[in-house]
Amino acid sequence: MVMRLYDLAGASDDHRFSPNCWRVRMALAHKSLEVQTLPWRFTEKDEIAFSGQGTVPVLVDGDTNVHDSWDIAGYLDRTYPQKPLFDSEQSRAEGLFIKLWVETQINPIIARIILVDLHGMLHDKDKEYFKESREKRFGMALDSLCADRPGQIAALVTALTPLRQMLKVQPYIGGKSANYADYIAFAALQWARTSAPVEVLESDDPVHAWRERLLDMYDGLARNTPLPKAA
Amino acid sequence: MVMRLYDLAGASDDHRFSPNCWRVRMALAHKSLEVQTLPWRFTEKDEIAFSGQGTVPVLVDGDTNVHDSWDIAGYLDRTYPQKPLFDSEQSRAEGLFIKLWVETQINPIIARIILVDLHGMLHDKDKEYFKESREKRFGMALDSLCADRPGQIAALVTALTPLRQMLKVQPYIGGKSANYADYIAFAALQWARTSAPVEVLESDDPVHAWRERLLDMYDGLARNTPLPKAA
């Protein structure tokens, strides 16, 4: 039976923007595993209550359900060892550092670029929940959080320095080919790309070229997802 | 024949502070490889001219000499595969990202904490070279660079966030035990510790506990090196 992934969606079913869900979709494609993605909204807690979780991604594989994008990656490598997402214990351990680099150094800046736009693209039933929970998390109104987009784009470019320097030596965080650490970092930029009609990278940035390579992978899986339109 | 490592020294032969040399010393100890370290000063270019390099570390292993701490690690893993510094290709590739994170996000802040003190501890013949080259690199006088030590210590604590978050899940960047990525990050803090009589980490910081574990390794190799004295 094909796996099912509960995947965050906006007002339209085909608007998929969640960075944690994009990690999983890239991981499944990496292993050539078929998946049916089910559009899910923040407030549809009942839909995933069976998993014991209130957020996605939730992956259902036969009788098993797994949540949390990091744990899903571990589950996939244990259950479907072909083309590993991490090729060793140390690779996985270092990947956890890179995950936390993305989550503490990159995602908070992207939030300051996109959250107002993203809020506007959510299903009506999600808008209040999203605004309240994000304003609580960041300790300020969304409008104030996103008040300096050019400054935050510049901060993002600076924060990406270690990745940029690395890309001058090798094409992927995984080395010659992409591994799950690449998907985690890529998913952050895919979150930006699918949430606001703004380009955050210059075309001559090595990070831009790397993102292009990831957008092309798996028959353009990430490139072909519907994008937000400029207002 | 025992290997020899040209190792940066201060005014006294036993003051060893170079982060790039500490990476190599930890790597050699990791593999239980014996080494004779030779004190070397910045201006002793003739001493290592045989290597084609103007900086250390330079490792001499029989008829082979290797320079650059990253390349030395690769040489050691190829030549002495026991207890690898990286256990896979992806582990090594991700390690390069972590190296560049240390070099672009951590080391520049430590420089702003310690360089004035370090300058004072150098051999007289190195002082002018060091001051000129570092002031050129940072585009300002050393005194100005190091004018706000409390602010830079706070910045360092913030910059270490991804490492701190990771250490709440696993004891080393390499996972259950340290690998070369740990030594790279540790060497940055060992550079601080051996260059200025100032504690940069709170005792309840998980990064502090991790540094303690690394200081204890290999019979206290890093802990037992002579430290600068408070002026």
Quickly count helices (H) and strands (E) in chain B.
10, 4
pLDDT of A119-143, one tens digit each?
999 999 999 999 999 999 999 999 9
pLDDT at position B1 is: 83
Q: Hey, which bits of A105-223 come out as E strands? A: none
Pairing verdict, β B3-8 and B35-40: parallel
Burial class (CB in 10 A: 0-12, 13-18, 19+), B74: middle
Going by pLDDT thresholds of 50, 70 and 90, the confidence category of residue A186 is very high
Mean pLDDT of chain B: 97
Shortest CA gap B159–chain A (Å)? 9
In 3-state terms, chain A is what percent helix, strand and coil (to 5)? 55, 10, 35
Going by pLDDT thresholds of 50, 70 and 90, the confidence category of residue B228 is confident
Residue A152 · residue A112 · CB < 8 Å: yes
Nearest Cα residue to A200 out of A210, A209, A188, A192: A192
Q: How far is CA A106 from CA A93, A114, A159, A206, in A?
A: 19, 13, 7, 17
User: Is B162 within 8 Å of chain A by CB?
Assistant: yes
| Structure tokens belonging to residue B28 | 């050699």
Cα separation, B56 vs B29, in Å, equals 18
Residue A207 · residue A158 · CB < 8 Å: no
Cα separation, B163 vs A152, in Å, equals 23
Residue A113, amino acid: I
Cα separation, B23 vs B19, in Å, equals 6
Mutate to test the interface with A, among B30, B90, B102, B165 (most CBs of A within 10 A): B90
Shortest CA gap A172–chain B (Å)? 8
The two most distant CA atoms of chain A are separated, in Å, by 48
Shortest CA gap A162–chain B (Å)? 5
Percent of chain A scoring above 70 in pLDDT: 99
Going by pLDDT thresholds of 50, 70 and 90, the confidence category of residue B230 is low
pLDDT of A22-39, one tens digit each?
999 999 999 999 999 999
Going by pLDDT thresholds of 50, 70 and 90, the confidence category of residue A230 is low
pLDDT at position B173 is: 99
The two most distant CA atoms of chain B are separated, in Å, by 48
From the list B92, B100, B170, the residue facing A93 with the nearest CB is B170
Cα separation, A206 vs B100, in Å, equals 15
Shortest CA gap A88–chain B (Å)? 6
pLDDT at position A1 is: 83
pLDDT of B194-208, one tens digit each?
999 999 999 999 999
Cα separation, B21 vs B34, in Å, equals 15
pLDDT of B1-58, one tens digit each?
899 999 999 999 999 999 999 999 999 999 999 999 999 999 999 999 999 999 999 9
pLDDT of A33-92, one tens digit each?
999 999 999 999 999 999 999 999 999 999 999 999 999 999 999 999 999 999 999 999
Residue A231 confidence (pLDDT) above 70: no
Which residues of chain B does A210 touch, with a Cβ-Cβ cutoff of 8 Å?
A: none
From the list A93, A162, A179, the residue facing B105 with the nearest CB is A162
| Cross-chain Cβ contact B88/A93 below 8 Å | no
Cα separation, A180 vs B200, in Å, equals 33
Which residues of chain B does A104 touch, with a Cβ-Cβ cutoff of 8 Å?
A: 161-162, 165
Q: With H, G, I as helix, E, B as strand and everything else as coil, classify residue B175.
A: strand
Q: With H, G, I as helix, E, B as strand and everything else as coil, classify residue B197.
A: coil
Cα separation, B226 vs B40, in Å, equals 16
Count CA within 13 A, CB hemisphere, residue B191: 27
**CA gyration radius, chain A:** 17
Q: How far is CA B35 from CA A103, B17, B179, B218, in A?
A: 40, 17, 19, 13
For residues B91 and A231, the model is more confident at B91
Nearest Cα residue to A134 out of A108, A169, A156, A158: A108
Q: How far is CA B60 from CA A36, B6, B51, in A?
A: 57, 8, 9
| Residue of chain B whose alpha carbon sits nearest to that of A96 | B166
Residue B102 · residue A99 · CB < 8 Å: no
Mean pLDDT of chain A: 97
Q: Supply the DSSP symbol for B34.
A: -
Instruction: Look at the alpha carbons of A201, A206, A207, A210 in this order and tell me if their dihedral is positive or negative.
Output: positive
Instruction: Look at the alpha carbons of A69, A72, A74, A76 in this order and tell me if their dihedral is positive or negative.
Output: negative
Question: What angle do the packed helices A19-30 and A69-79 form, to 10 degrees?
Answer: 10
Q: With H, G, I as helix, E, B as strand and everything else as coil, classify residue A55.
A: coil
Residue A17 · residue A26 · CB < 8 Å: no
